């Protein structure tokens, strides 16, 4: 079971004050990344983190990655999605503090996650809908932060609650994550991999006369462990799902937005 730490009011109070501070900043001014201060035991991004989180906090056991912290359901969904889609080598929560100049002002930004995968390093912020309701400047703040990272040649993405729950991806990544510990008999694994040597197949073609539901869960487990790749974005995992041998990366919905020309704007964040 995840370890849940007590909720306090310090970060809640901090977030309530942010709209007033943000109203004093000219968000249309150029944004520049001045410095990045890595989080260390001696110099944490938040001295009381994770005890001062505004939502229930948990440590999620990520197969092959150890325990990674998550604040609330949106961050949990981000961890499951990255695990199943981008196949990261490492995920670090609250990894650093960025010092960003917005015109004549300097703001601090603590990115939610640093994800290391085959396609490089990605900084990801997770944003729920509530934040945009309480802070009318949040979209502009995200735009400025993204602009600063991109100008410095660093990849920055914003995963919103709406995109994290986009179907069929959301249900598919949850199935893969939950199946990660499911044992698959060696004979079944070898048989599946042998059939895929000829090329990609659908689950129905792989199953033959076998039970679709059983092989679907076996395949989800093999995907989680990197033996195969299920298409998690085109449709619900079922008979028509494409299966390929090997470990391949699939780019999440927030990647398409964050790497487009208007990514620095995040104009449609919600």
Element at 104 (helix H, strand E)? none
Q: Is the pLDDT of residue 95 over 90?
A: yes
Crossing angle between the packed helical segments 138-151 and 10-22, to the nearest 10 degrees: 80
Residue of 11, 72, 261, 258 whose CA lies nearest to 159: 258
Residue of 174, 173, 164 whose CA lies nearest to 253: 164
Please indicate, yes or no, if residue 182 is contained in any of the structural domains.
yes
**Residue 269: pLDDT band by 50, 70, 90 thresholds?**
very low
The domain spanning residue 203 has which CATH number? 1.10.10.10
Q: Which residues contact 130 (CB under 8 A, 6 or more apart)?
A: none
Q: What is the pLDDT of residue 36?
A: 96
Of the residues 134, 165, 196, which one is the last residue of a structural domain? 165
The angle subtended at Cα 162 by Cα 18 and Cα 148, nearest 5°, is 50
Please indicate, yes or no, if residue 256 is contained in any of the structural domains.
no
Distance of CA 105 to the CA centre of its chain: 29
Please say whether the beta carbons of 202 and 241 come within 8 A.
Answer: yes
Q: Residues 160, 177: one domain?
A: no
Burial code (b: 16+ CB inside 10 Å, e: under 16) for 118-130 equals eeeebbbbbbbee
Q: What is the pLDDT of residue 53?
A: 59
Residue of 101, 152, 148 whose CA lies nearest to 125: 148
Average pLDDT over residues 156-173: 96
Q: Residues 69, 194: one domain?
A: no
Q: Residues 53, 93: one domain?
A: yes
Q: What is the pLDDT of residue 256?
A: 59
Q: Say how far apart CA 128 and CA 164 lie, in whole Å.
A: 10
**Residue 209: pLDDT band by 50, 70, 90 thresholds?**
confident
3-state helix, strand and coil shares in percent for the chain, rounded to the nearest 5? 35, 25, 40
Burial code (b: 16+ CB inside 10 Å, e: under 16) for 175-209 equals bbbebbeeebeeeebeebeeebeeeebebeebbee
Please indicate, yes or no, if residue 255 is contained in any of the structural domains.
no
Residues 38-85 pLDDT 10s: 998 787 777 666 565 556 677 888 888 999 988 889 999 999 999 999
Of the residues 165, 181, 207, which one is the last residue of a structural domain? 165
Q: What does pTM read for this prediction?
A: 0.84
Please indicate, yes or no, if residue 205 is contained in any of the structural domains.
yes
Q: What is the pLDDT of residue 77?
A: 96
Domain, as residue range, for 218: 169-245
Q: Residues 36, 156: one domain?
A: yes
Of the residues 131, 165, 199, which one is the last residue of a structural domain? 165
Average pLDDT over residues 244-262: 77
Residues 176-197 pLDDT 10s: 999 999 999 999 999 999 999 9
Q: Which residue has the tokens 């309480």?
A: 134
Residues 97-142 pLDDT 10s: 999 999 999 999 999 999 999 989 999 999 987 766 667 788 899 9
- Mean residue pLDDT of the chain comes to 85
Overall domain count for the chain: 2
Q: Is the pLDDT of residue 24 over 90?
A: no
Q: Residues 39, 146: one domain?
A: yes
Pairing mode, strands 66-71 and 228-230? unpaired
Average pLDDT over residues 189-209: 94
Look up residue 176 and give its two tokens.
Answer: 């893969």
Q: Residues 183, 147: one domain?
A: no
Crossing angle between the packed helical segments 212-224 and 169-179, to the nearest 10 degrees: 80
Q: What is the pLDDT of residue 7?
A: 42
Please say whether the beta carbons of 92 and 49 come within 8 A.
Answer: no
The domain spanning residue 125 has which CATH number? 3.40.1350
Q: Is the pLDDT of residue 1 over 70?
A: no
Q: Is the pLDDT of residue 261 over 50?
A: no
Average pLDDT over residues 227-254: 96
């Amino acid at each position: 079971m995840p370890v849940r730490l007590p909720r306090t009011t310090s970060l809640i109070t901090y977030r309530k004050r942010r709209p007033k501070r943000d109203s004093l900043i000219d968000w249309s001014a150029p944004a520049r990344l001045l410095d990045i201060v890595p989080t260390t035991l001696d110099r944490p991004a938040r001295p009381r983190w994770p005890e001062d989180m505004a939502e229930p906090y948990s440590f999620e056991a990520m197969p092959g990655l150890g325990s990674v912290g998550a604040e609330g359901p949106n961050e949990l969904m981000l961890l499951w999605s990255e695990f199943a889609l981008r196949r990261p080598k490492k995920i670090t929560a609250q990894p650093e503090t960025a010092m960003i100049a917005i015109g004549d002002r300097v703001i601090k930004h603590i990115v939610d996650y640093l994800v290391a995968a085959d396609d490089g390093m990605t900084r990801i912020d997770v944003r729920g809908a509530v934040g945009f309701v309480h802070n009318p400047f949040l979209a502009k703040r995200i735009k400025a932060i993204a602009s600063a990272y991109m100008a410095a040649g660093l990849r920055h993405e914003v995963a919103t609650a709406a995109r994290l729950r986009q179907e069929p991806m959301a249900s598919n990544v949850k199935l893969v994550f939950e199946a990660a510990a499911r044992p698959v008999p060696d004979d079944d694994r070898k048989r599946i991999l042998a059939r895929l040597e000829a090329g990609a197949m659908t689950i129905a073609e792989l199953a033959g006369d076998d039970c679709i539901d059983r092989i679907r869960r076996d395949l989800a487990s093999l995907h989680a462990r990197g033996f195969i790749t299920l298409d998690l974005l085109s449709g619900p995992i079922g008979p028509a799902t494409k299966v390929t041998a090997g470990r391949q990366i699939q780019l999440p919905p927030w990647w398409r937005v964050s790497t487009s020309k208007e990514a620095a704007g995040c104009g449609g964040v919600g």
